[in-house]
A and B are shown apart, each in its own frame.
Chain A
Amino acid sequence: MRKREMALQDYTNKASMFRWPLLIALIAVPLVCGWAGALFGATTITLGTVVEQLILGLILGSVYALIALGYTLVYGVIKLINFAHGDIYMLGAFFGFYLLRFMIRWLHFTHGVSLIWCWIISVIISAAVCALIAVVMERLAYRPLRGSSRIAALITAVGVSFLLENAGIIVFGANPKSYEPKTLAVYQVELAAEQSFAAARHLEFVETTQRELPVRWFTDTQYARVRLVAKDGSSDWSPVLEITPDESHGYVESPSSGEQTGLTPPASLGYSRKQVGGRQEFSLSWANAAVDNVRMRPVFSNDQGEQLAVYLPLKTAQGHNVRVPVFNIVIVAVTLILLWALNQLINRSMFGMSMRALSFDGDAARLMGINTDKVIAQTFAIGGACAAVAGNMVGIYNQAIEPLMGILPGIKAFVAAVVGGIGSIPGAAVGGMIMGISEALVKSNIPSDWSSMADALAFAILIAVLLFKPSGIFGSAVKEKV
């Protein structure tokens, strides 16, 4: 009993003498390598550049930390490298992508809900769905193998990963999906007060799906009609939208779209009218059935559709101020909050205690009346949800997602978990940050035709950690029972 208590403490938060040297080495080596490379490249390094690179590293690190969390929790509980975890992250990104599209069409365009809320809702739903998928995966693929050899479970995990990737390719298509459309039709709006569009006003939607209209256009008429015409004539559907004075919003939808060749026509056209501080605002927006062509405004943006950003009073090498988009701050903040909350959950709650007990000794935990199946399923759910959140944020950050996007971040996140000490949440966070920062530094400082080699860094770090401190920064060396 005494032994167990000690070990539990050990498992959670025991400082190790070797933690700091390793930490410092892991940060310092890529730093030195990166900036030495920059010196040879003869570019000037300013404080601003350094800060910019560090921020990039923090963002990458947050993503790795969130994914690593799932690895570390699952590994802690059932000693299985859940290879499919990277693919859950991929699924999260895709669900987030489609949900955000849907939310924008449904809530934002037609009901005027702000983009941020759309995003939050889609993140939450996709996290829930991914948690469910992770649980189902555990139930169908891993639970039947609970009693068999580690290798069998590991091979199954690879199989599940492979299944998700290929199912992803079939369902979502192998080509990357972009938040930024590649070609945007220029649509023209014709606005008329009468039945005919002969004397219509014209205004254009160029690379945007929403426009504010001057309210005075509608003051002298009670009844307006709007028609959307593609300028290049590629669209053969021109919806006519009736604008009535007593309705705050309205829309018209295409009956069946996407069948036509060439550029897809807009699938719906809507207007909304609202009272903002004694002033009436009137906006017109369209959405497309082929979701790929919907222009996604940055989630955190101002009225002009420009990305919100903070400028730091530091100059980069190019001589302008360091620009930090608000969304990047949000990524880091969300990660930190999630990690903190989970750490609390693991250390303070009954669930956390059962989980720790399970990871320490599964049989004993079962004998103590812990429903191990339930705890394992919950662990998978938490991991899946975190990965989905990471996927959502990465999608928007990179502006592109694809079905194989999970493999490499999956590997790197696992390395992060090992670096931090597998089984430990602070370890996942610190490991993720180390991986992210060192990758960012190396990536931005080595010559650009070698930049893909930055991916090799994760591998080098893994080898180094396994050689010198396999239990990681926060992990305690796990003794196998003899």
Chain B
Amino acid sequence: MLEIADISVVFGGLVAVKELSFTVSPGQIVGLIGPNGAGKTTVFNAILAVYPPTSGEVRLNGRRIDRLPTHRICRLGIGRTFQNIRLFKDMSVLDNVKVALHRSFRYSLFDALLRTPRCRRQEREIDYAARDILEYFDLLSVADDKASSLPYGKQKYLEIARAYATRPRILLLDEPAAGLNASETEALMDKVREIMADTHCGVLLIEHDMRLVMGICEHIVAIEYGAKISEGTAEYIQNDPKVIEAYLGTQDEKDAAVVEDLAAVTGEEE
């Protein structure tokens, strides 16, 4: 269970995230929505201490993690993908996944240098595991290709596969469906559900595609200017005036504008 308690992130004088709190439980998909520049990605970066939160706490299964370095947080079981795909472009697809599997190795540098039987054995295991993961994500046929040569959709899958390989308990997905068409998005979301079913991990999802978010997420957190404006089920969020206001502007302003327009039109007629 990932608990985010009152975290704030401040850059210089700018408050990017303000006293935000929510939780993600295993087996639950939580959606994080908000207009552009609301600070959604910053929340991810704060959870992983890429930008450590200025105040507040992040806890994973009760253990406080916000003062740990990023790689330790990841090892404790948080995997993430990036908004703009960040693959190891010049490495093969297989190697991309193998890099993420580094935790399963238990041999020293000297074993590696001298290629001792211990190293060989474990390398073989890593290779099998990586191929298993690729098969799971339907990427085995392109295992030896360069990551940069994959089509966009497959790159998205590879990134999730890479995060999956770190065996996360909580998976953070940053706009996984951006740039995919409807059927691809559907397939991707099925995959995410499948991952959840198989590993019983929790998912925190940033997404702009409202239909997708409403369809898949049991619980949604809406933020604007870094602060939480609403939280609840998809239905509740859809009908929350604050959320509508954040996305569409104030209803009153609109009404007023319409009235003025009408008045102007009628005035001319008279």
Contacts and interface: CB of A to CB of B under 8 A. Distances in A.
B12 A14 contact: yes
Interface in A4-49: 6-7, 9-10, 14
Interface in B4-45: 11-14, 16, 37, 41, 45
Looking at chain B's contact residues, the main secondary structure is: loop
Q: Which of A9, A476, A482 has the most CB of B within 10 A?
A: A482
Contacts of A3: 11, 14, 16, 37
Contacts of B13: 6, 9-10
A2 interface: yes
Q: Could you tell me the dominant secondary structure of chain A's interface residues?
A: helix
A131 B14 CA distance: 38
B244 interface: no
B85 interface: no
A479 interface: yes
A479 B14 CA distance: 13
Contact of A6 (B11, B41, B45, B51): B11
B88 interface: no
B50 interface: yes
A476 B11 CA distance: 10
Given A482-B41, A482-B82, A2 B11 contact: no
Interface string B197-224: 0000000000000000000000000000
A482 B12 contact: no
Given A479-B51, A482-B41, A6 B12 contact: yes
A6 B41 CA distance: 19
B15 to A, nearest CB: 10
Interface of A: 2-3, 6-7, 9-10, 14, 476, 479, 482
16 contacts: A2-B14, A3-B37, A6-B11, A6-B12, A6-B13, A6-B14, A7-B11, A7-B14, A10-B12, A10-B13, A14-B12, A476-B12, A479-B11, A482-B41, A482-B50, A482-B82
Given A10-B13, A482-B41, 16 more contacts: A2-B14, A3-B11, A3-B37, A6-B12, A6-B13, A7-B11, A7-B14, A9-B12, A9-B13, A14-B12, A476-B12, A479-B11, A479-B51, A482-B50, A482-B51, A482-B82
Q: 9 closest A-B pairs (Cβ-Cβ)?
A: A10-B12, A6-B14, A6-B13, A6-B12, A3-B14, A482-B50, A482-B45, A7-B12, A479-B51
